[in-house]
Structure 1
Amino acid sequence: MESRVSVFGTGYLGATHAACMAELGHEVLGVDVDTEKLKKLEAGEVPFYEPGLEDVLRRNIAAGRLRFTTSYQEAADFADIHFIGVGTPQKKGEFAADMAFVNSVVEDLAPLLERPSVIFGKSTVPVGTAERLGARARKLAPAGELVEVAWNPEFLREGFAVKDTLHPDRLVLGVDRNRPGRAELVAREVYAKLLKEGIPFLVTDLATAELVKASANAFLATKISFINAISEVCEAAGADVTELADAIGHDVRIGRRFLNAGIGFGGGCLPKDIRAFMARAGELGADQALTFLREVDNINMRRRTRMVELAREACGSLLGARVAVLGAAFKPDSDDVRDSPALNVAGQIQLQGAAVSVYDPKAMGNSKVLFPTLAYSDSVYDACDGADVVLVLTEWPEFCQLQPADLADVVRKKVLIDGRNCLTPSDWRNAGWIYRGMGRP
């Protein structure tokens, strides 16, 4: 059954959700205060890199199922089903999440709701947010008790966001158990095509749904930092963390995914979400439960420092050295440079006196905005021209497929440090290169 749906926020989460809801056959109105962003979207341009999203966007705009507006009144008149997909960044100077954008959607939308409506939150929020916003929405809305707030957390992976929206591994919906209403029925109608695929649909209370997202991110961050901690032991012992990860990954209780040692995680989600989780646990009086996440965060940041140390060791001194940095995005198949380990390392190395040249297939524009003082190149070969050391910091396919002969006549010194353990050490060493990996002998 097709529904009329509004999606508030047209950033990474909101734009993806809006386009994919239209792909499922619904009439969708995307809402944002950023007129420049809306102009791009209306023209069929995605203002960030996400494989496959532009095709979905253009197809549904052309079909008349998807359009955009800055008007909350238009959204309230158009739809009775509203999704919140705005950002919850880390507060400046604090670990806690900044809820200003989420709060403002409810403050501005609720007073316009004159009919029974369901507001589904998709943003990652501290536990307790949904209950608070539900009470606020009912107080502000002319429809009063006929307005419901439910939470439907997103589990998007950058680079796979379209697939994760249209074919998720599960759907989670948190509803207010004290106020039985239409939220579950409405969600089942909105996601009917997904449910026909047999995708698990878990209905929980509001707090559990909020904690599912926070816990999933905390677990993934912990798994990544675990293998990076083991890589530090491997380096001290002369062992190989990649072979170790392969071996323990065969254990079905552990699994091989997210056990790739390197320079750690970044992006707009994991770092800020685990910090917000710690902050909220402290507010609830359960701070001791998540103290281990402080060490997870510390290990993650330490890997960046280790990469800088390896670059310094390779050059003797970074002062005056020429350093090629391959990768700027925090992960491949993305142009996201928020809290990117690669750019952080590049910036630290430059501060120590090196001439740094960065190349990334998709993230150059965003990198230049965030780190304008770094030098940027148009290709791998330009970046590596005359380099004393080459650092592979994002595992883009074109970097993983590099062969020693590709760079042999370009660099000044045959030294490569593989920050993602994505190359075969023997290939490079047999070709006369000095190869260093993370947690590898």
Structure 2
Amino acid sequence: MKKSEQPAPRISVIGTGYLGATHAAAMAELGFEVIGVDTDPRKVEELREGRAPFFEPGLPELITKHVASGRLRFTTDIAEAAAFADVHFICVGTPQQSGSFAANLSYVEGAARSVASNMTHDGLIVGKSTVPVGTAARLRAIVAEVLPEGIQAELVWNPEFLREGKAVDDTLAPDRLVFGGTTDRSEALLRQVYATPIAAGTPVLVADLPTAELVKVSANAFLATKISFINAISEICDAAGADVSLLADALGHDVRIGRQFLNAGLGFGGGCLPKDIRALMHRSGELGAYAAVGLLQQVDEINMGRRQRVIDLALEACGGSVLNRRIGVLGAAFKPHTDDVRDSPALNVAAALHLRGAQVVVYDPQARSTAQRMFPTLGYADSMGEAVSGADVTVVLTEWQEFVDADPVTLGNLVHTRTMIDARNCLDAVAWSAAGWKVLSMGRVPEVAPLDADLAALATAR
């Protein structure tokens, strides 16, 4: 090793949920020795066996590869991790508090306290969890209070920008890196950790702590606002007979706007966007920034209203009541490529229809087990065909490719009534209508196929 080269730091990752497990595996893939820490012995045992405790494309392969290589191991012993590592990433959850919009910071505070109090040599504590602005300053005070005598540690912030379903790629090749509150020494150490993506062109933004804390929640708030905007416009489209999908295509050609996240439908859910915008709303109120409070409240209300809109469509399709009607539900996860059902609009709608007396049967390619744990009283199917068999109404609630590519003729032969509610505006309404389905969408002009060749000829002649 040349004198100018620094030895590779060893890394600990505190928390092995979606963020932590992915970050730990990716750090091992980048060549570091990594130890992951979690308080859940069952989860740690699964990870030690090379199994991911949740569905995320590409993650099981990385975990298996690096548990076998010896670069990646897992423990419940925070003291072991503190003694082993030089850089400690805090990746624990910040869920919404019960009875409040505020974030529950007990896990972040506990992680920082545990790492700092068990450190046996100087190191760097790096927050990655999404937190309200001002949290890092409080954590610095906690770290300073509990550090053993003679040990030095900086606490900085490096927010995560993972998208569930694409988390591995987002970690190995992030679109940006933000370092908050760093000194020259800690910035150099983080640049060493992220040397591979930086060399590949990932930009680095060095910021103060409050700015770094605000980046992730602001990004999520903007995306949530964009989704709720197009959903509000879809209501106008419904009232005026316009097509929100074509409208979004037209808007998307404006480079100032862009087409991404302009898909009208059931709205957003999951473990990040809803709780993050509510936490930002709460913190904005504490800081007296009331314009943000009002904006985010409207975003949240529009989003939640989309769920009721789908329920209303189902009631309308069934003549005003879903009592004893069989409803085939396609989708349980909050979005495709994940088994995450936290605050899932799909499950929320399915459960609401069940409470109204419907016989609900749910199929999801990946989220059956997680959905069944959360809503055990719903019916579940092992296939799309089983879910829609005998259905009076079929509802697409998660835009899995399997549903987008489904054959409307084949499914039409299984259902009782060919009525489809496309709550994600993801189906080819012309093809489904041509197969005899009545397709109800969100802000789209209904497609009505000609009933026979004579009608088609008549329409052409006119």
The bucket for the TM-score relative to the shorter chain is: over 0.9
Hey, what's the Cα distance between the residues in 2 that align with 1:43 and 1:211? 37
- The code of the aligned residue for 2:373 comes to V
Partner of 1:58: 64
Hey, what's the Cα distance between the residues in 2 that align with 1:85 and 1:269? 14
Cα shift at 1:62: 1.0
Q: Deviations over 1:364-384 (max 9, x none)?
A: 000011111100011001000
- The code of the aligned residue for 1:417 comes to I
- The code of the aligned residue for 2:142 comes to R
Given that 1:72 and 1:108 are in contact with CA atoms closer than 8 Å, whether structure 2 keeps it comes out as yes
Match of 1:383 among 384, 387, 407: 387
Cα shift at 1:2: 2.7
Match of 1:153 among 150, 153, 159: 159
Match of 1:251 among 250, 254, 258: 254
Give runs of aligned pairs for residues 31-430 of structure 1, distance below 5 A: 31-142=37-148, 146-175=152-181, 180=183, 182-316=185-319, 317-430=321-434
- The code of the aligned residue for 2:382 comes to D
Query: TM-score w.r.t. structure 1 length?
Result: 0.98
Hey, what's the Cα distance between the residues in 1 that align with 2:165 and 2:350? 23
Hey, what's the Cα distance between the residues in 1 that align with 2:201 and 2:407? 44
Partner of 2:456: none
Structure 2 stretches lacking a partner, 5+ long: 1-6, 446-462
Hey, what's the Cα distance between the residues in 2 that align with 1:289 and 1:163? 32
Given that 1:330 and 1:338 are in contact with CA atoms closer than 8 Å, whether structure 2 keeps it comes out as yes
Q: How many residues align?
A: 438
- The code of the aligned residue for 1:14 comes to G
Cα shift at 1:221: 0.3
Query: TM-score w.r.t. structure 2 length?
Result: 0.93
Match of 2:27 among 4, 21, 33: 21
Structure 2 counterpart SS, 1:265:
coil
Given that 1:114 and 1:141 are in contact with CA atoms closer than 8 Å, whether structure 2 keeps it comes out as no
Hey, what's the Cα distance between the residues in 1 that align with 2:292 and 2:337? 34
Given that 2:284 and 2:293 are in contact with CA atoms closer than 8 Å, whether structure 1 keeps it comes out as yes
Range with bigger deviation, 159-168 or 277-286: 277-286
Q: Deviations over 1:270-294 (max 9, x none)?
A: 0000000011111112133331110
Hey, what's the Cα distance between the residues in 2 that align with 1:164 and 1:144? 37
Structure 2 counterpart SS, 1:291:
helix
Given that 2:329 and 2:396 are in contact with CA atoms closer than 8 Å, whether structure 1 keeps it comes out as yes
Q: Does 1:434 align with 2:438?
A: yes
Cα shift at 1:12: 0.7
Hey, what's the Cα distance between the residues in 1 that align with 2:201 and 2:432? 47
Structure 1 counterpart SS, 2:269:
coil
Cα shift at 1:182: 2.1
Hey, what's the Cα distance between the residues in 2 that align with 1:358 and 1:112? 47
- The code of the aligned residue for 1:36 comes to R
Given that 2:282 and 2:293 are in contact with CA atoms closer than 8 Å, whether structure 1 keeps it comes out as no
Structure 2 counterpart SS, 1:319:
coil
Q: State the superposition RMSD in angstroms.
A: 1.1
Runs of 4+ in 1 over 2 A off after TM superposition: 143-146, 287-290
Cα shift at 1:155: 0.4
Hey, what's the Cα distance between the residues in 1 that align with 2:228 and 2:348? 17
Structure 2 counterpart SS, 1:182:
helix
- The code of the aligned residue for 2:283 comes to R
Hey, what's the Cα distance between the residues in 1 that align with 2:50 and 2:83? 25
Given that 1:138 and 1:144 are in contact with CA atoms closer than 8 Å, whether structure 2 keeps it comes out as no
Structure 1 stretches lacking a partner, 5+ long: none
Structure 1 residues 134 and 144: CA distance shift in structure 2, 3 A: farther
Cα shift at 1:77: 1.0
Structure 2 counterpart SS, 1:153:
coil
Structure 2 counterpart SS, 1:297:
helix
Hey, what's the Cα distance between the residues in 2 that align with 1:73 and 1:322? 54
Structure 2 counterpart SS, 1:60:
helix
Hey, what's the Cα distance between the residues in 1 that align with 2:151 and 2:119? 11
Given that 2:326 and 2:391 are in contact with CA atoms closer than 8 Å, whether structure 1 keeps it comes out as yes
Greater C-alpha radius of gyration: 2
Given that 2:242 and 2:444 are in contact with CA atoms closer than 8 Å, whether structure 1 keeps it comes out as yes
- The code of the aligned residue for 1:366 comes to T
- The code of the aligned residue for 2:346 comes to A
Cα shift at 1:115: 2.2
Hey, what's the Cα distance between the residues in 2 that align with 1:131 and 1:182? 19
Hey, what's the Cα distance between the residues in 2 that align with 1:314 and 1:370? 27
Structure 1 counterpart SS, 2:206:
strand
Hey, what's the Cα distance between the residues in 1 that align with 2:410 and 2:314? 21
Structure 1 residues 19 and 132: CA distance shift in structure 2, 3 A: same
Hey, what's the Cα distance between the residues in 2 that align with 1:185 and 1:283? 35
Q: Deviations over 1:118-174 (max 9, x none)?
A: 100000000011111012101210256821100000000000000000001001110
